[in-house]
Chains A and B, each alone.
Chain A
Amino acid sequence: MKLRQLALAATVVAAGLSGALVTSAAFAQAKEQFFPVLSGRTGPVAPNATPWANGHNDYMKLVNARGGINGVNTLVEECETAYATDRGVECYERLKGKHGGATVFQPLSTGITFALTEKIPGDKIPMITSGYGRSDTADGGIFKWNFPLVGHYWVAGDTVLQHIAKQEGGWDKLKGKKIAVVYHDSPFGKELLPIVQERAAMHGFTLQLLPVPAPGVEQKAIWLQIRQQKPDFVVMQTWGVMTPTAIKEAVATGYPREKMFGTWWSGAEPDLKDVGAAAKGYSAVMMQHGAEPQSAVVKEILEKVHAKGQGTGPKDEVGTVLYMRGVMGAMLAVEGVRAAQERFGKGKVMTGEQARWGYENLNLTQAKLDALGFKGVMRPVSTSCADHLGANWARVHTWDGSKFVWSSDWLQADEQIIKPLVKASAEKYAAEKKMTRRTAQDCQS
């Protein structure tokens, strides 16, 4: 029997074809900085990941309308992952070498982040995981190529608990209380747990951990459990179709929405639109921005991109929570390149390795952010070799039945608690991999 013959013939034919496709699209043009987009426009997170990708691409178009990054235009190409890790890895491989090499990846999936964390050091491409991914990658001494800029799950978890404590009148009031954590049963959901467990041990409240299997549409049993055990608060680490399902179940079981708090990925318009007025009172913690239809950057996008018919998505989603997150992700990606240009040559196309330096030495002052149109949207971000996080501020917003309104002041995550957690987890990773901490010399490079 011809064991391998047709199998290999078929692969080689397909190889030739796809190779031809890859090369035909890969005319590396001068002066274009390539930002790959791993989109999730289909699959279980489509309602949430679509505005993210639209915001990201619109901001990149805006950068070009503003004259590029010191004259270097941005170029985006999407690859659809449908939130599946293996497809995400395939997309990464497909895009990383295109258009002169990828600048930075933003996978928008914790599963893909975990897989790519193993690959990016070899390929010398940085990765921004703004608000998701591995929390311990904030330790730049171990994770040279990862940048969880502006916040990660532990910042979100800590600030949401701070908000609850503040509402109750202090941490000591939480003693003896019961908090249920409803989380996506995957690395994404479990990443939240160390910080809430740490806080629970510190302040003497009990935790009820309720994992929901992916994609999160089977929650009947869990909400019945919540109804029986009546926890004082419910913290939700949910994403995609899971969030509206949880809120609908809460409505059905009569759990008060005022006592439900989402983390960063659980509080956006697509999650609550369908539930509408019934979701009134539900809050979610936002790392810095929320829905910002009034901000200068949104007005500029409407004027310079959408008014010219170049908008990526529908006009009415511009300025919504997840759209803004895409805009912010794109802004961070671009500003890192701008910072790198300061060092490696203005008006030049940066390689991934050079861009990494930019992300590590990011210094977005309030004046710079205001000039970019992010006044009132964000606070300053500054990173260093040791700290790849850059900022740890958050606010809480609450659904009023038709839109989100701010319901808390700025909250800062407690570095005293998070730093040791990050360090311990990063060291454990390094020990498993037999890696050593970066030297001071490496920090200069």
Chain B
Amino acid sequence: MFYRENGQFKTTYRADQQIFPITQDRWVILALIAFAFVGVPMLVDEYMYRAILIPFLILSLAALGVNILVGYCGQISLGSGAFMAVGAYMAYNTYVRIDGMPLILALLSGGFFATLVGIFFGIPSLRVKGLYLAVATLAAQFFCDWAFSRISWFTNNSSSGSVSVSNLQIAGWRIDTPLEKYLFCLAFLVVFGLLAKNLVRSAIGREWMAIRDMDVAAAVIGIRPVYAKLSAFAVSSFIVGVAGGLWGFVHLGSWEPAAFSIDRSFQLLFMVIIGGMGSIMGSFFGAAFIVVLPIFLNQFLPWAGALVGVEISTATISHSEFMVFGALIVWFLIAEPHGLAKLWSIAKQKLRLWPFPH
């Protein structure tokens, strides 16, 4: 009833090509961003920021990056954890080694180095495809794990191999409290989200999708596979690298290579698969599912147990968290193989016809 575009006439190309052609969509999104910046800070407590919202924002950003590579360009990668690690460690090195380095520049330089590494490890994608490429990108993961735990230059010769940063500030604004950290990450996410959304709607995004759908056909109509594939690797690893920097600097504060292990790569890939491949919004759904659900289960199960008068031990909670989480993944993938984003677009379709379906 309310959600339909009847009567919204586009009179210019500009109006026709905007990100959200439907007025209602536009307003809802603007309201959401405003709510995230203004409303959320009034509602939530410190635990929510530090344990849920900040990890959610940063991993959404990383999932966004992975989605560009896996979902839009069709290049399966298991090296995302490594690109995050490169982002984090190189941001750390530029931040610590260069006096007076601004924080944002350090994070972006982490992204820049991640881009270089991403392009380098993306070269095999020109020859190998699909699952074989996934195995080839594993090399990036193992190499980076090795490099950051063995080469002491990367950790500024720290004896334990663990590095840490604190006193983050931008032009005198100290990013100290959870609220400030949240806003800082949110600002990054909004900027990169907008950037990614526009990239995938542009010529280059269409090239990626053409490559994904059928690379031979794409080459025939004049798309250069080298350029398309490597640019997808570059953009994706830049975003993932910045997310890695944020994860180390803002969320953990102190980290070791294990923070970006192969598990992280799998986690990011699952976010994209569960959230929805080839969908910007899917990245957010996937990140929410993977980040929030385990923590929620971990707190919900003892509470539910207490309701029926059973006290569940910490170990049992932990085990059942894994079981329920696994079962939910299977159930979602059976219910909707195209991910949570697909469920959302179905809901939107239904909403358009509501309350008078055919």
Q: Which residues of A contact B (CB under 8 A)?
A: 1-8, 10-12, 14-15, 17-19, 21-22, 24-25, 39, 41-42, 46, 50, 53, 78-80, 82, 85-86, 89-90, 93-94, 97, 110-111, 114-115, 117-119, 122, 134, 185-187, 190-191, 193-194, 211, 214, 425, 432-434
Whether, in the assembled complex, B160 has its beta carbon less than 8 Å from a beta carbon of chain A, the answer is yes
- Chain B 302-320 interface residues, beta-carbon cutoff 8 Å to A: 303, 313-315, 317-319
Do the beta carbons of B254 and A1 come within 8 Å of each other? no
* Shortest beta-carbon distance from B23 to chain A in Å: 13
Q: Which of B35, B164, B303 is in CB contact (< 8 Å) with A8?
A: B35
Please tell me which stretch of B7-15, B53-61, B212-220 contacts chain A, meaning at least 4 of its Cβ atoms lie within 8 angstroms of it: B53-61
Give complex CA distance A326, B95 in Å: 39
Give complex CA distance A5, B2 in Å: 17
Give complex CA distance A110, B159 in Å: 13
Do the beta carbons of A15 and B298 come within 8 Å of each other? no
Give complex CA distance A326, B287 in Å: 37
Q: Which of A14, A41, A111, A194 is in CB contact (< 8 Å) with B256?
A: A111
* Shortest beta-carbon distance from B251 to chain A in Å: 8
Report the nearest A residue to B298, measured CB to CB. A80
Do the beta carbons of B252 and A85 come within 8 Å of each other? yes
Contacts of A425 in B (CB 8 A): 159
Contacts of B56 in A (CB 8 A): 11
* Shortest beta-carbon distance from B252 to chain A in Å: 5
Q: In this complex, which of A78, A86, A118, A432 has the most chain B Cβ atoms within 10 angstroms of its Cβ?
A: A86
Q: Which residues of B contact A (CB under 8 A)?
A: 19-20, 25, 28-29, 32-33, 35-36, 40, 43-48, 50-53, 55-56, 60, 96, 149, 156, 159-162, 164, 166-167, 176, 193, 197, 251-256, 258-259, 279-281, 284-285, 287-288, 292-293, 295-296, 298-300, 303, 313-315, 317-319, 340, 344, 348
Do the beta carbons of A7 and B44 come within 8 Å of each other? no
Contact status of A214 and B258, CB under 8 A, knowing A15-B52, A18-B299, A432-B96? yes
Give complex CA distance A211, B281 in Å: 42
* Shortest beta-carbon distance from B187 to chain A in Å: 13
Give complex CA distance A214, B161 in Å: 14
Q: Which of A15, A185, A190, A433 is in CB contact (< 8 Å) with B167?
A: A433
What 5 A-B pairs have minimum CB-CB distances, sorted nearest first? A7-B284, A118-B253, A41-B315, A187-B160, A187-B162
Do the beta carbons of B258 and A41 come within 8 Å of each other? no
Contacts of B193 in A (CB 8 A): 3-4
Give complex CA distance A97, B51 in Å: 13
* Shortest beta-carbon distance from A311 to chain B in Å: 13
Contact status of A18 and B29, CB under 8 A, knowing A114-B254, A425-B159? no
* Shortest beta-carbon distance from B255 to chain A in Å: 7
A-B contact pairs, 8 of them (CB 8 A): A6-B281, A7-B285, A14-B296, A18-B299, A19-B44, A118-B166, A191-B160, A434-B167
Give complex CA distance A82, B258 in Å: 14
Do the beta carbons of A1 and B259 come within 8 Å of each other? no
Besides the contacts A4-B29, A82-B318, A433-B164, what 13 more A-B pairs have beta carbons closer than 8 Å? A3-B29, A7-B287, A14-B292, A15-B52, A18-B300, A86-B55, A89-B51, A90-B55, A110-B160, A114-B162, A190-B159, A194-B159, A432-B156
Contact status of A11 and B258, CB under 8 A, knowing A4-B32, A19-B48, A78-B314? no
Give complex CA distance A245, B178 in Å: 42
Give complex CA distance A211, B256 in Å: 15
Q: Which of B53, B258, B281 is in CB contact (< 8 Å) with A111?
A: B258
Q: Which of A17, A42, A53, A214 is in CB contact (< 8 Å) with B300?
A: A17
Q: In this complex, which of A4, A90, A110, A425 has the most chain B Cβ atoms within 10 angstroms of its Cβ?
A: A4
Do the beta carbons of A118 and B315 come within 8 Å of each other? no
Q: Which of B55, B149, B160, B254 is in CB contact (< 8 Å) with A115?
A: B254
Do the beta carbons of A190 and B160 come within 8 Å of each other? yes
Give complex CA distance A17, B298 in Å: 12
Do the beta carbons of B160 and A10 come within 8 Å of each other? no
Contact status of A22 and B318, CB under 8 A, knowing A118-B254, A193-B159? no
Give complex CA distance A10, B60 in Å: 13
Contacts of A46 in B (CB 8 A): 315
Contacts of B160 in A (CB 8 A): 110, 114, 134, 187, 190-191
Do the beta carbons of A115 and B255 come within 8 Å of each other? yes
Do the beta carbons of A97 and B254 come within 8 Å of each other? no
Contacts of B35 in A (CB 8 A): 8
Give complex CA distance A117, B164 in Å: 10
Give complex CA distance A94, B294 in Å: 14
* Shortest beta-carbon distance from A139 to chain B in Å: 14
Do the beta carbons of A19 and B45 come within 8 Å of each other? yes
Contacts of B313 in A (CB 8 A): 41
* Shortest beta-carbon distance from A296 to chain B in Å: 29
Give complex CA distance A249, B209 in Å: 51
Q: Which of A12, A42, A193 is in CB contact (< 8 Å) with B319?
A: A42
Do the beta carbons of B20 and A7 come within 8 Å of each other? no
* Shortest beta-carbon distance from B145 to chain A in Å: 8
Do the beta carbons of B318 and A80 come within 8 Å of each other? yes
* Shortest beta-carbon distance from A80 to chain B in Å: 4
Do the beta carbons of A21 and B300 come within 8 Å of each other? yes
Contacts of A79 in B (CB 8 A): 314
Do the beta carbons of B296 and A17 come within 8 Å of each other? yes
Contacts of A118 in B (CB 8 A): 164, 166, 253-254
Q: Which of A17, A80, A111 is in CB contact (< 8 Å) with B315?
A: A80
Contacts of A186 in B (CB 8 A): 161, 256, 258
Do the beta carbons of A6 and B314 come within 8 Å of each other? no
Give complex CA distance A186, B287 in Å: 27
Contacts of B51 in A (CB 8 A): 89-90, 93-94
